[in-house]
Structure 1
Amino acid sequence: MNKEEKSGRIFDIAVIKRLLLFMRPYRMQFFLLIFLIILLAALVPATPLLIQHTIDHHIMEANYRGLTVMVCIMVGLLLVQSIVQYYNTYLSGWLGQNIIRDIRIDLFRHLLNLRLKFYDNTPIGRLVTRTISDIETLSDVFSEGLAAIAGDILQILVILGVMFYIDWRLTLVSLAMLPLLLISTYIFKEKIKESFNEVRTAVSNLNSFVQEHITGMSIVQIFNSEEAEFKKFNEINREHKRANLKSVLYYSVYFPVAEVISAACTGMLVWYGARGVLSEDITLGTLTAFIMFISMFFRPIRMIADRFNTLQLGIVSTDRILKLLDSKDYIPNEGTYQAQDMKGEVNFKNVWFAYNGEEYVLKNISFDVKAGETIALVGATGAGKSSIINLLSRFYDINKGHIYIDGHDIQEYELNALRSKIGVVLQDVFLFSDTIMQNITLGDPTITREKVLEAAELVGARKFIERLPGGFEYNVMERGATLSVGQRQLISFVRAMVYDPRIIVLDEATSSVDTETEELIQQAIEKMMKGRTSIVIAHRLSTIQKANKIIVMDKGEIKEQGTHEELLQQEGLYTQLYRMQYKEVV
């Protein structure tokens, strides 16, 4: 079993304390809920007591007027109980939904601020589970867990106290089978807990399999693996069914057993009580009230085992959520420099960087880029080119050395101010399932439609966008599936340009397009670069021959620097790369 899916302690005080902190904005509603729980527990034994009084003092004495009054009182009591029960149920659900809304907001805001390294090491499926499934489980803590258990326990104690007050002998007879019920309840609780864990693991496996295979359906069909993958799915689905049927089995066994025990207690009570009634030692009303008390007493005991498991799963989910919220894996944002008039001069000074430990992917990197210049980074895959641009925007922090922009260490910049001045266009363009306008502005209200149209005109994307149905309101679907690679790339250019960045970073922006589209994109790139500092990563050396400086990298180190002509004259690594590509073209 997945270690994550195992349940922990029910009463984890530290977790419960943290959970109660989320209730602070709703203190009044919480105290009102406690009052309703107490009131409902006090009202529950009232009906049997009224029936006892009615039988002994009105029915047995043929007092029809008094009987009518008591019936009216019982109807009124039933109405009051219904109203209190309604508000108790609604308020507990309302409280739970508001709290999990707040927790989900806090959690997503926290996820937005975590560094990319965290996402490199954490499966996306786990984060989706935390944000959705675990928080939904947490809502049950309020609607079916804490409030319900507190109400059940209070109701049991009140009923037990009233029973002992009325007749201790009948109470002891009524509780004769209680140890057997408690044992069966404990066994059920343990078994159903184990079953719940298996169900959650099966659901997790099923969700992961379906999500992964829908995303990779093209690979499945390309390699004719439909039958093999279906067999895998069938096996996972069969395990899911088995786990659920196991929990159904425990429920189908426990509740009939509990009913039999309750019926046995009622039978013993009737046998003993009837003798007392015949000997006039016990009144008929008292016996009738105790029969009702038994049903009221055993019902919450039967339910409490299931609710304890609900609470337990909720506490475990809360613990997972809190651990994620407590994660400090984010980029420190202690800088205050806003850089309103950034020019775009970039300096790397003896920069060392490793994603993990001391496995350095960049080793003693130093280079300078003057404002308005264009530099290109070339080299084999894994040379460290993309790592350089990740460090420039502080998606990761360096291990040693310094990075300066306009003479200021990038750690002195306020993080949002820094990133707003750097426009990044990646090779793999990600578009959300939304309109083109929303994908460009990303919901930023400060970006006007006029600015978007101006940027689209600048990079040559406006014409093709306006030809689409709905123009800028066209929905691109998930990951931009309805657009070509070139169209998605042009939209990413517009998205970068609407912020009017002083530094443009292009990460192999033309490597996945055909020659005709590349020419169109190259024209857009030239317009974007004008008057801005540009850092370009490219496999096709023909696209970067006009760069002011080309930096050749290999295994995290800078091997050569210079212009296109200077590097060709050196007859070094760049020359080898150029000749290899020239042969490919020829």
Structure 2
Amino acid sequence: MRDFTENHSAHADKHLIKRLLTYLKPHKFRFLSAFLMMFVTTFASIIMPLVTGWSIDYMVRTDVATEQKMLVLTIGAAMAVGVLAVSLVVGFFQQVILQDIGQDVTHVMRKQVFEHIEGLSIGQINLLPVGKLVTRATNDPGNISDMFTNTIVNLIRNILMMVIIGTVLVVLNWKMALLTFLTLPIIVFASAIFKKYSRTAYRTVRTNVSEINGFLSENLSGMKITQIFNQEEKKIEGFKVLNDRLRKSYFREINTFGIYRPTIWLIAMAATIMTVYFGVTTVIEGGLSVGLFISFYIYVGQFFEPIQQITEQFNALQNGFSSAEK
């Protein structure tokens, strides 16, 4: 648990991850099975655009009979439906396993926090408002559980998708792929800046939430004393100060994320426009078939979609790390 004044310095992410991974050790085999299921769902997402492109190229061929085209199209559609069905079933069981692990981890964390609170001395208890203790035992373990069950696995999945899709783009047309990759340094630079400011914003929000919870807990339980000594106005003013501080910290957090995501979206749109322009030129020159160009276009969208999802997962990851720092 953090020190009682909340005047803490940042922990390194490696240190936090190392501590958090100890909670996954009892569930390592289930977590590994869920991790392997991720490859099945990832494969289903990646194979479909390529099949679509091949199907288009096959259907526009003039040396194949219409009956044969329809037969191949029917078989391909049936296989696509089968792959999607398997992906949905595997994805369902993956989420069940991850949610079960997350609840177990949350249960253990809350138990340890409660036992730690009970072991504090009277002097330490007096230094920390009850509301902050409640936040440590409820909200923070919940945020960490969400980081385990959703954020980390999806983050790895999206990174894996980016690597595989990037490889496919290079295989389809390396010149157009390099054009798409030109935007990556800008995205990395923007992400580095976002990480710097978002962690500070999240840490401030968590601190202010703890302070306002502590204020409410103390004053609601001691309302009779406040009324006896006629201190209502003073307490109202104190609550206004804390509430305004929390509101400003939330706005700072929202503004930080509100600038980052549109920036990533604009970069993705610029890359897509360049890809379409040079892709059409390549098709006209005969360097790429229509079907593979459509596949390439879909892959470009899928390439930047994980990046935009990573921004949201990065958002939740910062929230989880801020809770873990407590």
TM-score, length-normalised on structure 1? 0.50
1:189–1:306 CA contact under 8 A, matched in 2: no
In structure 2, the partner of 1:267 is 273
In structure 1, the partner of 2:110 is 104
In structure 2, the partner of 1:92 is 98
2:206–2:322 CA contact under 8 A, matched in 1: no
Q: Within the alignment, does 1:53 sit opposite 2:54 as a pair?
A: yes
In structure 1, the partner of 2:166 is 160
Relative to structure 1, the CA distance from residue 116 to residue 244 in structure 2 (aligned partners, 3 Å threshold; closer, same or farther) is closer
- How far apart, CA to CA, are the structure 1 residues paired with 2:260 and 2:120? 49
- How far apart, CA to CA, are the structure 1 residues paired with 2:139 and 2:24? 21
Matched letter for residue 245 of structure 1: F
Unaligned runs of at least 5 residues, structure 1: 321-586
Q: Within the alignment, does 1:3 sit opposite 2:7 as a pair?
A: yes
- How far apart, CA to CA, are the structure 2 residues paired with 1:194 and 1:18? 21
**Tell me, what secondary structure is at the counterpart of 2:286?**
coil
Give how far 1:247 is off. 2.0
1:96–1:142 CA contact under 8 A, matched in 2: yes
1:192–1:247 CA contact under 8 A, matched in 2: yes
1:354-373 paired onto structure 2 within 5 Å: none
Q: Within the alignment, does 1:184 sit opposite 2:190 as a pair?
A: yes
2:202–2:322 CA contact under 8 A, matched in 1: no
In structure 2, the partner of 1:123 is 128
**Tell me, what secondary structure is at the counterpart of 1:44?**
helix
In structure 1, the partner of 2:35 is 34
Q: CA RMSD in A?
A: 2.5
In structure 2, the partner of 1:217 is 223
1:8–1:316 CA contact under 8 A, matched in 2: no
Give how far 1:217 is off. 1.1
- How far apart, CA to CA, are the structure 1 residues paired with 2:22 and 2:212? 34
Q: Within the alignment, does 1:255 sit opposite 2:258 as a pair?
A: no
- How far apart, CA to CA, are the structure 2 residues paired with 1:90 and 1:187? 35
Give how far 1:102 is off. 2.2
Matched letter for residue 3 of structure 1: N
Give how far 1:117 is off. 5.2
- How far apart, CA to CA, are the structure 2 residues paired with 1:248 and 1:269? 32
Relative to structure 1, the CA distance from residue 222 to residue 262 in structure 2 (aligned partners, 3 Å threshold; closer, same or farther) is same
Give how far 1:312 is off. 4.6
Unaligned runs of at least 5 residues, structure 2: none
Matched letter for residue 105 of structure 2: I
Q: Which deviations, in whole Å up to 9, do the C-alpha atoms of 1:22-74 show, x marking residues without a partner?
A: 32332321121121122223332111111111111125556233223322322
2:102–2:149 CA contact under 8 A, matched in 1: yes
In structure 2, the partner of 1:326 is none
1:520-559 paired onto structure 2 within 5 Å: none
- How far apart, CA to CA, are the structure 1 residues paired with 2:261 and 2:120? 50
Q: Which deviations, in whole Å up to 9, do the C-alpha atoms of 1:450-507 show, x marking residues without a partner?
A: xxxxxxxxxxxxxxxxxxxxxxxxxxxxxxxxxxxxxxxxxxxxxxxxxxxxxxxxxx
**Tell me, what secondary structure is at the counterpart of 1:209?**
helix
Give how far 1:122 is off. 5.3
Relative to structure 1, the CA distance from residue 118 to residue 163 in structure 2 (aligned partners, 3 Å threshold; closer, same or farther) is farther
- How far apart, CA to CA, are the structure 2 residues paired with 1:202 and 1:160? 42
Give how far 1:318 is off. 3.9
- How far apart, CA to CA, are the structure 2 residues paired with 1:116 and 1:229? 28
Relative to structure 1, the CA distance from residue 303 to residue 3 in structure 2 (aligned partners, 3 Å threshold; closer, same or farther) is farther
**Tell me, what secondary structure is at the counterpart of 1:224?**
coil
Task: Select the structure with the greater relative contact order (CA < 8 A; seq sep ≥ 6).
Answer: 2
Matched letter for residue 11 of structure 1: K
Relative to structure 1, the CA distance from residue 267 to residue 171 in structure 2 (aligned partners, 3 Å threshold; closer, same or farther) is same
Matched letter for residue 149 of structure 2: S
Give how far 1:273 is off. 0.6
1:228-247 paired onto structure 2 within 5 Å: 228-247=234-253
Out of 223-232 and 200-209, give the one that drifted further: 223-232
Matched letter for residue 96 of structure 1: G
Residue of 304, 307, 313 corresponding to 1:301:
307
Matched letter for residue 187 of structure 2: L
In structure 1, the partner of 2:156 is 150
1:320-399 paired onto structure 2 within 5 Å: 320=326
- How far apart, CA to CA, are the structure 1 residues paired with 2:73 and 2:208? 58
Q: Which deviations, in whole Å up to 9, do the C-alpha atoms of 1:381-430 show, x marking residues without a partner?
A: xxxxxxxxxxxxxxxxxxxxxxxxxxxxxxxxxxxxxxxxxxxxxxxxxx
**Tell me, what secondary structure is at the counterpart of 2:313?**
helix
- How far apart, CA to CA, are the structure 2 residues paired with 1:158 and 1:293? 10
Q: Which deviations, in whole Å up to 9, do the C-alpha atoms of 1:150-170 show, x marking residues without a partner?
A: 212212111112222222112
Give how far 1:218 is off. 1.4
Relative to structure 1, the CA distance from residue 20 to residue 255 in structure 2 (aligned partners, 3 Å threshold; closer, same or farther) is closer
2:129–2:217 CA contact under 8 A, matched in 1: no
- How far apart, CA to CA, are the structure 1 residues paired with 2:239 and 2:325? 31
- How far apart, CA to CA, are the structure 1 residues paired with 2:154 and 2:107? 21
1:152–1:304 CA contact under 8 A, matched in 2: yes
Q: Which deviations, in whole Å up to 9, do the C-alpha atoms of 1:271-313 show, x marking residues without a partner?
A: 0010111111111111111211122111222232443453355
Relative to structure 1, the CA distance from residue 59 to residue 256 in structure 2 (aligned partners, 3 Å threshold; closer, same or farther) is farther
In structure 2, the partner of 1:21 is 22
Out of 19-28 and 45-54, give the one that drifted further: 19-28
- Give the total of aligned pairs: 316
Relative to structure 1, the CA distance from residue 252 to residue 319 in structure 2 (aligned partners, 3 Å threshold; closer, same or farther) is closer
Matched letter for residue 123 of structure 1: L
Relative to structure 1, the CA distance from residue 7 to residue 42 in structure 2 (aligned partners, 3 Å threshold; closer, same or farther) is farther
Residue of 178, 203, 209 corresponding to 2:209:
203
Out of 146-155 and 76-85, give the one that drifted further: 76-85
**Tell me, what secondary structure is at the counterpart of 1:29?**
helix
TM-score, length-normalised on structure 2? 0.86
**Which is strand-richer, 1 or 2?**
1
Matched letter for residue 32 of structure 1: S
Relative to structure 1, the CA distance from residue 23 to residue 81 in structure 2 (aligned partners, 3 Å threshold; closer, same or farther) is same
Relative to structure 1, the CA distance from residue 268 to residue 42 in structure 2 (aligned partners, 3 Å threshold; closer, same or farther) is same
1:96–1:143 CA contact under 8 A, matched in 2: yes
**Which is helix-richer, 1 or 2?**
2
1:188–1:305 CA contact under 8 A, matched in 2: no
Relative to structure 1, the CA distance from residue 274 to residue 301 in structure 2 (aligned partners, 3 Å threshold; closer, same or farther) is same
- How far apart, CA to CA, are the structure 2 residues paired with 1:298 and 1:245? 27
2:206–2:323 CA contact under 8 A, matched in 1: no
Q: Structure 1 vs Structure 2: percent identity of aligned residues?
A: 27
